Amino acid sequence: MQAIGTYQPGDTLYIWSFSGLILRNRPALNAARLKTIPYGTAVVALNYSGSKNTDVDIISAFSQNNKQLPAVVIKGDFARVVFDGDTGYVYDGYLSKLPALRQVKTNSAKQPVFETFQQYAARNFGILRQISKGKQGDGTSFQEKAVFGNGILMDTRLEKSGETRIILPDISLEETLMLFKYLTGCTWDVPIKAKKGAEINWKMSKISDYEWFFGNENCSYYVRYYPATTLSVFSWTCSE
């Protein structure tokens, strides 16, 4: 799958690699490192090549029940940017026109925790309209729809199970997968358990070039991209 959709010289892009994104002296993964640009930093693109010739795993492959599950691989290129006085190149698969999720400080969490998507969207884009039916948490059915300032739509339904769908206009499949990684914790859960030799409770499968399925013991997630309309949909269903 391709990484971020097209961008132009002069566009502001945000770093979505939580460990930071390496600024290199040439447009190659093996080029010399100049600096590491921190997660969430805004940079300005100085070029756009349009090619997608460099593959990077954004979720590593892992074994489960003697079956090898595939890595989630993106195809990207290198954006020329300026950071802290140095001009160099960064892999554009970890760049997005969306501001990065904000990390929430906790005293007990063993891995990073991020704000909810609704908090994120309201903070960055504002809520244009919100409609709620029922009362959340009283055991009856509850439904809420919210429209945010950049056209994002979030629809949540709660009854015996919870269903949420987020429609993301002009957002690439790769950018939506970044949201999935950080909102669910999958990006830390899989490698930590794999390193310890523990059972990994995640499963994932590539349905097509534009659709992925992920699941754990409680929730099923779908990430879909519609190239004809440059629209992504992130949805999930969770049981009690």
**pLDDT of the residue at 3:** 45
- Which residues of the chain fall short of a pLDDT of 50? 1-3, 194
The whole-angstrom separation of Cα 115 and Cα 64 is 30
Q: What is the pTM of this model?
A: 0.84
How far is 79 from 60, CA to CA, in rounded Å?
Answer: 24
Q: How are the residues of the chain apportioned to helix, strand and coil, as percentages rounded to the nearest 5? A: 15, 45, 40
Which sequence spans correspond to the domains of the chain?
Answer: 12-239
Alpha helices in the chain (DSSP H): 117-125, 173-184, 186-196
At residue 194, the 3 state secondary structure works out as helix
pLDDT of residue 240: 66
Six-digit token pair at 51? 């090619």
Two structure tokens written together for 35: 């600096």
Question: Hey, how many other C-beta atoms are within 10 angstroms of the C-beta on 71?
Answer: 16
